Amino acid sequence: MSEQHQPPATTSPLCKLSRSLILRILLVSLLGLLAALLLFPIKGIVQQRSNDQQAALQTIAHHWGERQVVIGPVLVVPYVEHFTNVDTVTDANGQSSVVSKDFYNDRTAILLPKNLEIRTDIKEEYQQQGMHNALLYNANISLTGQFDHAVLLGADEGERRIQWDKAYVMVGVSDTKALDIASSFFWKDERIALQPGTRLLSLLPNGFHAPLPAEENSAATHEFKLNLNLRGSDGLFFAPLGESSKVRMSSSWLYPNFQGSLLPGKQETSEQGFNAEWEIPHLVRDYPQYWILDGKQSYSLENFLIGVNFHEKSSLYPQILHLVPFGGVFIGLAFMLLLAAEQRIKRRLHLLHYGLVAMGLLAFFLILLALAEQIGFLYAYLVAATLTALTISIYTGSILRSRFSAFGMLLLLASLYAGLFWLREMTSYTLMAGVGLLTAVTFLMMIATRHLKAAD
């Protein structure tokens, strides 16, 4: 009997396509891209929680005291300007006579202090609304210095009569409802009661004033002293109005954020808090020490401020928002490891396996958010990272039936979460870390694909 030869088995194009590694990579990449898109709603959840926190903090600040700006003191001096005009008049008969006319003009002068020293001691405290703690402060403020109205007396012509019975000193405070204790104002050695409102809303919309006593033959210089106890939040700022201004701040707060037109000339920060000092000449500002209110020219005393913002060292929600974009990197690397494991064990995983791994990685951010609101960021990160890494590693070992693969996934996730925590503190090294990670992944993929053939 003649031998029958079996024709070689042929593989259909569809079967070849289903086994194609390129197609597998494309499908897994598409799944990873779809999973990464879920990072946007997660980011939206974190942002909404951040907005809720800001709303709660603003509610507390509205009742306690908001960002405070203290501008003053400013001396408002009404005066009468007297001119005598002398003319020679010739009548129809050629007789000449001297005629004099007196002119009186009401003026108001704005004088800023010749010397101004501001000392403030700030004590922070917290108030809670729901799960949110608001950082607040209570500031004891002392303003001392001297006014010199000699510039009003040095008129080139005519004379000026100061109306001290109408003069007053005003101080601008941005949130006057936060004045905690009845403040005291001393003009020379006389204590003067403060009155609400500045009486000059065009210059200082919010604040208070002190009517000055009538003075005859008053000296040109006037010493003053003002003590304030002021509540606030977010920040505390001052306007250096003096021809020579000195500002000294001290607080037990460890994380000051100095802002404004000038940083402190001297500053010290220690475990006991901070001390800061400014010495500012009037030449750095764009408004003079003295001007007349005439409706033609005005100045803004808020154009030059110095001070400090009070914020937490690291707020919870911005930290989490900074981490969320890295979720896409985690999904991509985890999928690469699973693909490499497939090639090693010569067995393919279901796409659902990839999807569940991606869901576990995405759940990390929600776990972190939920726990951080209760126990703080550090412990929440440790718990969320440990739980996610162990769960996905055990699941990887189960679907691949390989302890080696499970250990590889655990090592990968542990390294990624440790590196991510480090980048949270060292944001300036993000680019360097990204380049290093890309280089390492490229090298590992070269090793994993070194035995691939063109037929694959």
Same domain, 321 and 271: no
Would 27 be classed as within a structural domain? yes
414 and 436, same structural domain?
yes
Sign for the CA dihedral angle at 340, 345, 351, 353 comes to: negative
Look up tokens 């000026």; give the residue.
160
Q: Which pLDDT score, from 0 to 100, does residue 168 have?
A: 92
**138 belongs to a structural domain:** yes
| Enclosing domain of residue 280 | 65-86+99-313
Same-domain status, 329 and 308? no
Q: How many CB atoms lie within 10 A of CB 92?
A: 5
**41 vs 10, which has greater pLDDT?**
41
Same domain for 394 and 358 = yes
DSSP state of 157: S
Mean pLDDT computed over 152-181? 81
Least confident of 108-117, 335-344, 428-437: 428-437
Q: Is the pLDDT of residue 2 over 60?
A: no
Q: Do 381 and 308 have their domain in common?
A: no
Domain boundary among 313, 343, 359: 313
Question: What is the model's pLDDT at position 240?
Answer: 94
- Do residues 368 and 253 share a domain? no
Residues 309 and 163 in one domain: yes
189: tokens are: 């050695």
Average pLDDT for residues 281-298, to the nearest whole number?
Answer: 85
User: Same domain for 46 and 110?
Assistant: no
Same domain, 413 and 286: no
Q: Is the pLDDT of residue 115 over 90?
A: yes
- pLDDT tens digit string along 176-229? 888 876 677 898 888 888 889 998 888 899 999 999 887 755 677 889 999 999
Q: Which two tokens stand for residue 301?
A: 């005393």
Tell which of 264, 291, 313 closes a domain: 313
Cβ-count burial of 381 within 10 angstroms (0-12 exposed, 13-18 middle, 19+ buried)?
Answer: buried
Number of domains observed in the structure of the chain: 2
Q: Give the whole-angstrom CA distance, residue 59 versus residue 234.
A: 13
Instruction: Identify the domain boundary among 285, 313, 341.
Output: 313
Are 274 and 138 members of one domain?
yes
